Structure 1
Amino acid sequence: MISVLMSTYREADNILQEAVDSILRQTCRDLEFIILCDDPGNTHTQRILENYAKQDSRIRFYINEQNLGLTASLNKGLKLARGEYIARMDADDISLAHRLENQQAYLENNGYDLIGSRMMMIEENGNEIYSIQKVPTDAQRIQKCLKYGTCLAHPTWFGRREVFEKLHGYRDVPFCEDSDFVLRAQLAGFRLSNVDEILVKYRMTKASQSRSNLYDQYLNMTYITSAYRQGRTADLEQCDAFVNRRKSEKRAKRFSKANVLFNQMLNDKRKKQYFRLIKHGLQLVFTSGSYVKKIWRFVMLDVNSR
């Protein structure tokens, strides 16, 4: 059996329903769908999910007594899970109907422990923006890619239960709990890979593109990948100290602004508006040096994925 874990907060009704329906319509039927509401005061969302649970016995719905945050909520879900396999699902994404079936077959046929897949990025209204063209599948390439960032997209994870048990779930690394988990899995000797096909539609909201925690995420990622390159698991206290020494409200705002520009560049490229692409690129360079370094990491990820 596959245990699908999803934590929900304050997603719009239609977006949440699309996410839930995409799991219930999977071609693989042997699953349990563990949904945790991390907003105990959100009775409207709770009613929607309770109605789903009444209609489909595969849903196990829980309401956190207080807001726990994603990391603690997922760890709670892991303790509740009964399946041989664990799959992740975000409450604003869409899994293609054959996702779980294809991932289970790929993992079993190739002896992997934790895998992801390619994604199609979509707008809030569901319109397609662009797709991830290439993900590393070879173990050696993944080992190299992880020096620069995560190459197993969290919303696409499918893994053996023992991976999550041996690593004791997620650690509290702000905005990087997934990357930290993958790095620890690699260092622990688990076999990682990706299915080289699009199995998830990842929804990009305006809020996610400009959120203020992007710079903190970048700093945490910088530290934990640095530790990984040295062959060790990041020390959380040292990671916090590293981030706190470099945190700056001004830098965070400029980093978020650069992220918006970067996404505009991706749209410019898709629409073949090359003058606007150059314009936004120059603006980005003079907005945030740290974001330029993040782009370099993207480039190195891409180079090592091929």
Structure 2
Amino acid sequence: MTIDVMLPYYGDVAMMKAAVDSVLSQNDRDFRLTIVDDGYPDENLPAYFAALTAGDSRVRYLRNEINLGANGNYRKCLGLIDHEFTVIMGADDIMLPNYIETIRKGFQNPDVDLVQPGVEVIDENGEVYKPLGDNVKDFLRRRIVGQSTDAVLAGEPIAKSLITGDWLYFPSVAWRSEAIKKHSFREQYNVVQDLGLAMDIIMDGGKMMVSDTICFQYRRHRESDSSVQALDGRRFAEERAFFDECVRDFAKLGWHAAAKAARLHVSSRLHAATLAPKVIQKRMWPGLRKLAAHVVRP
């Protein structure tokens, strides 16, 4: 059962190489790594990728003729999937050596469409740490999973939990390829497209396995694109549009508790409130107004 590892790439070269090395160092060798370069401008990359593909038949490399952006490159990756299961890895994240074997175990349950394995967070320097937001994620995950080490979740309970606070780590999630290609990423989103995809699969009856086995390192940058978009308010405008969609979608399914959680979007409002001091420090007054509007939105 070969597993597709899709690596949409644009950004730091050293971190990308570390991500690639972590895939090639897996205990379970039955995978195919596909790197989709979104046109990152580095003149040394062609030689690196040529040597990489020549030295390992499990690796293929493609370079986009035009920059597609994150969402566009994700969707291109979906069209390149050939095997039953896939992961869309971040180009600055790290697979621990037991990652492939862990998700393969998760998919031994034929009803499972998503596997969220155990994750630890690393900073720009590769040091393991746990900021406040990730402590909240851990609390919300534990709240629904309980003491189970390999919990299988489905329906309104998991939808309500994720819409209350998104505790998924998208680059670490493994997907049943049939499900991810059926729903794809919603084109209008650039921050919450991963949660949107998970919700679409869950609303279609898909089940998620949540494993406690730590096998992935998610890199959280202090000045990531999502953080910048949060400070100027763009992230929360996108989140509001998504939550409004979820209210309507959940109501159609009769998931009234989940619809109420989407309407309240408490964790998103709290996130906006915690950013206010930083926005004030940077004197980003238009962003502050947008954050305040999001926090007090009726």
Match of 2:236 in 1: 218
State the secondary structure of the residue aligned to 2:228. coil
Match of 1:300 in 2: none
Whole-Å separation in 2 of the counterparts to 1:83 and 1:261: 44
Partners of 2:116 and 2:210 within 8 A in 1: yes
Per mean C-alpha deviation after superposition, the further-off stretch among 175-184 and 223-232 is 223-232
Match of 2:189 in 1: 173
> Structure 2 regions of 5+ residues with no counterpart?
146-150, 252-270, 280-287
- TM-score, normalised to structure 1, is 0.72
Deviation track 1:77-98 (CA, whole Å, cap 9, x = no partner) reads: 2212211111121110101111
Whole-Å separation in 2 of the counterparts to 1:260 and 1:67: 35
Q: For residue 59 of structure 1, what is the amino acid of its counterpart? A: V
Whole-Å separation in 1 of the counterparts to 2:276 and 2:50: 37
Question: What is the alpha-carbon root mean square deviation over aligned residues?
Answer: 3.1
Match of 2:11 in 1: 10
Partners of 2:226 and 2:235 within 8 A in 1: no
Match of 1:112 in 2: 112
Task: Report the Cα offset of residue 113 of structure 1.
Answer: 0.6
- TM-score, normalised to structure 2, is 0.74
Match of 1:84 in 2: 84
Residue 210 and residue 40 in structure 1: after superposition, are their counterparts in 2 closer, same or farther (change >3 A)? closer
Task: Report the Cα offset of residue 232 of structure 1.
Answer: 5.2
Partners of 2:115 and 2:174 within 8 A in 1: yes
Per mean C-alpha deviation after superposition, the further-off stretch among 134-143 and 61-70 is 134-143
Residue 36 and residue 287 in structure 1: after superposition, are their counterparts in 2 closer, same or farther (change >3 A)? closer
Residue 200 and residue 261 in structure 1: after superposition, are their counterparts in 2 closer, same or farther (change >3 A)? farther
**Does structure 1 residue 198 correspond to structure 2 residue 199?**
no
State the secondary structure of the residue aligned to 1:193. strand
Kindly report which structure 2 residues correspond to 1:132-281, keeping only aligned pairs within 5 A, or say none. 133=138, 135=141, 136=145, 137=151, 138-139=153-154, 141-208=157-224, 211-214=227-230, 215-231=233-249, 258=275
Whole-Å separation in 2 of the counterparts to 1:55 and 1:75: 28
Partners of 1:40 and 1:66 within 8 A in 2: no
Q: For residue 74 of structure 1, what is the amino acid of its counterpart? A: Y
Whole-Å separation in 1 of the counterparts to 2:96 and 2:109: 21
The percent identity for this pair of structures is 24
Per mean C-alpha deviation after superposition, the further-off stretch among 84-93 and 112-121 is 112-121
Q: For residue 157 of structure 1, what is the amino acid of its counterpart? A: V
Per mean C-alpha deviation after superposition, the further-off stretch among 27-36 and 74-83 is 74-83
Partners of 2:185 and 2:194 within 8 A in 1: no
Q: For residue 112 of structure 1, what is the amino acid of its counterpart? A: V
Query: How many residues in Structure 1 have an aligned counterpart in Structure 2?
Result: 251
Kindly report which structure 2 residues correspond to 1:28-107, keeping only aligned pairs within 5 A, or say none. 28-39=28-39, 41-107=41-107
Q: For residue 56 of structure 1, what is the amino acid of its counterpart? A: D
> Structure 1 regions of 5+ residues with no counterpart?
234-253, 263-284, 295-306
Task: Report the Cα offset of residue 258 of structure 1.
Answer: 1.4
State the secondary structure of the residue aligned to 2:249. coil
Whole-Å separation in 2 of the counterparts to 1:107 and 1:293: 42
Partners of 2:185 and 2:193 within 8 A in 1: no
Deviation track 1:200-234 (CA, whole Å, cap 9, x = no partner) reads: 1111223217843223222222222332233259x
Whole-Å separation in 1 of the counterparts to 2:125 and 2:276: 20
Partners of 1:117 and 1:152 within 8 A in 2: no
Task: Report the Cα offset of residue 9 of structure 1.
Answer: 0.9
Partners of 2:159 and 2:199 within 8 A in 1: no
Partners of 1:209 and 1:256 within 8 A in 2: no
State the secondary structure of the residue aligned to 1:198. strand
Match of 1:248 in 2: none
